Structure 1
Amino acid sequence: MNSGKKEKFRNDEAILDIGDRPQFGHWLVLSIQHLFTMFGATVLVPLLVGINPSIALFSSGVGTLVYILCTNAKIPAYLGSSFAFIVTMQALMKADGYPAVGQGAISAGLVYVIVSLLIGRFGSAWVDRILPPVVVGPIIIVIGLSLATTAANDAMLKNSNYDLKYFGVAIFTLLITIIFNMFLRGFSSMIPVLLGIICGYLMALATGIVNLQAVAAAKWFSLPAFNVMFINYHFKWYPAAIIGMAPIAFVTMTEHMGHIMVLNKLTKRNFFKDPGLHRTLFGDGLSSVIAGFVGGPPTTSYGENIGVLAMTKVHSVWVLGGAALFAILFSFVGKVSALIQSIPSPVIGGISFLLFGMIASNGLRILVDNHVNYELKRNLIITSVILVIGIGGTYLKLGSFQLTSIALATLFGIVLNLVLPVKASSEK
């Protein structure tokens, strides 16, 4: 491997650290692996809302590059379409069309930007106080396990009457990926997810669950139908969009910080301090603002890609940047975009069983590595509440504003950590 500029600190456990640049051929394959991993979720959101998937692919690639730039290329993360805004976006699309959704996406991004500026001015020392290991570990576990239902639905191809052949493809994909991850050596050991998806796709073809009609009908070059703010339509204020989507930004911020915690653990760094939480939030927010201007949904960091980082130990930001460039390129190549969209859900579900589990396992590692004492009642209480609220799917809905289970679990964990004494009266 050729390396880029070395950093003062390195994670010796990583095959490729954050600043390392792979050889060109390896770089392409590693980046495509991340592209395949995020593709399903990134295009699913616009399909559910009624937005052109190519625009979402384009905005996710541009947003990721902007994020890398804003964080001084110090954080290996990929930004894709956010699921947190789906319900509100669907309502806005029915009422006012995309102009309202775009304005809402911009307003949500601006909330991130404003918060980042405040943190940049007043500091982020509070993060260590409100998010100690006993809170962080369970939250990361929740982030991974809360996606378990999504993985299971994909594996069984929800609404298919749970045909065994779909589950068979998912399990085959899972097992072959585990085998690749455990026994391959050299460069091939860094792309078990990509190899697993390819083998799973071939199995899906053999079982007849792949629809290639869209691939055959797709054009080689297809310009995404951008909905550019101020150009494609006259500007108009949509207060309902701003009121409905801006507050959700505070919810996705908790998920954003959760992902940063996972990355801190994986890379053995503290991104809250360097490059700083203000930079990570600013990059995430600016990405959503750009997405809103070109016609895409708001973006957020992706747990799927973090799972790939955990599995492969390839943490190079060059690889994530390459994935972003491929996303932009493929948004203009109709055949390639259609081919990737043709990957059936059971293949993605089989991969997700492993990737989402990897995220949850890193939460367990935080608890173990920090020697969290569960003989203390406060630690048991905090962990128990976070896990049940988060994994149980509890949510709070007030009008068009919805507080997700992860956000609620985080909120309860933070409050309990701040108010509960170190020891209960019976432990003193």
Structure 2
Amino acid sequence: MSTDAEFADARHIPPIPPQPPRRPAAAPDPAEDPQTAVLRRVPPAPSSAPAAPSGPTAPPVPPRPAAPPRAQQPPAGERPPPRPDRAPGSPARTAPAAPGTPPQPTARPAAFRDTAAFHLANSQELWSGPGERGAGQGTREPAAPSPAAPGSRPPGPAGGPPSQLPWPRTPLPPQGVGPTTGVPAAPARRPGARVLAAAACLVLGIGLLGGAAAGGWLTEKAAGAPPDAEAAFAKGHDVWRNTPVDTLFPRTVNGLGVGPGGADRTWTRIAVAPDSGCNGAFDPKLAGALAPAGCVRLLRATYIDATRSGFITVGAQITKADQAGMMALNTRFSTKNLGIRTDLMPLPYAAKGTLAAGFGRAQRASWTVRVLTDLPAVVFAVSGFADGRTFTDPQPAEAATRPGATTAPAESGLGHDAKDLADRIEADLRKAAGSPTQTREASS
């Protein structure tokens, strides 16, 4: 009897069909049944001793023949029947294919029918017949030809090769599973030019965004950091040229709580002097005291308070000195009290054709002079009554603004006017030059 190992290399064994729904009414003829016609009995192994009876009533077992009976020989003088060249039910041999024709699948040998796999695979055909097979299975044997119509020509033998079992398609490997051992893997595809260009653009865009963010962060950090003192001092030499006049001398200045007793003050600009040199702008003694610092430009403007009772002239002298020269000048004014001497008072600016046309030396009631050290500038202010009265005992602004002062400049607010307007012009100069310091220098 053949074994399955003989056909281990047979490819594509059909799947096992489901259990047949019904059984045939009568058993097939043994001569036509391939299971009966092909299968051969296997003689049992010879036994040296007869088996013992299983019971008291078991019949005796006849002795086993030593050799299988020989086939019946034909009578003398008769030729034996020809031996078939193939097993029943096996496909006929076909002629060799012409050159260039694709090879057909090798038919299964007749001995394949001796295996249990063959009988299981063909059991559906035996029980149900070839007409009830599934649509996806091939026909092992040709179907019976249909009866021809009367008067028609019977069909001839097919010219093509005999039908073979269709081999099932080999399923494709799932994605992500590597190739089977022995099968050459497909060559890896290299990225194209478009992919490389897109990647380069992406990297470049990320770099530009990162650079912009870093630049913005550095700019904000630089803007929030205090400016350089040396740069601000150097910029102060040109602040008069680059700053609008309405920024240094606003048309209206509001002072909240800066008047006597914390009263609010408001001043209105009535005249702005054209920028000029320092010749004739100060008394000779004050001009001599400021001479070591030099003079680049002199800026002045005159204001009137909201009650129209006082005039205030405020100004700034832009010097040529460096930081060391301004520091030395400030030290001289502080140690020698030059800011509180009545013979070193600045002169008012009396613009012709304005209400302050009569504001002169005799009307001066309070004043202040400040030497800045972070900017090349000297800020000053002088105030007086608007009705033209003269004043024989002027008082410095710092003394007139002290609590409890009872002098006329203190009670009239002329000391507050000079001090507060000088503070405002000083702050505007520092803001225009970008100076970080807010130190208070010696003043009168």
TM-score, normalized by length of structure 2?
0.17
- Greater helix share, structure number: 1
Over alpha carbons, which structure has the higher Rg?
A: 2
- Greater strand share, structure number: 2
Could you say which structure has the greater relative contact order, defined with CA pairs below 8 angstroms and 6 or more residues apart?
A: 1
TM-score, normalized by length of structure 1?
0.18
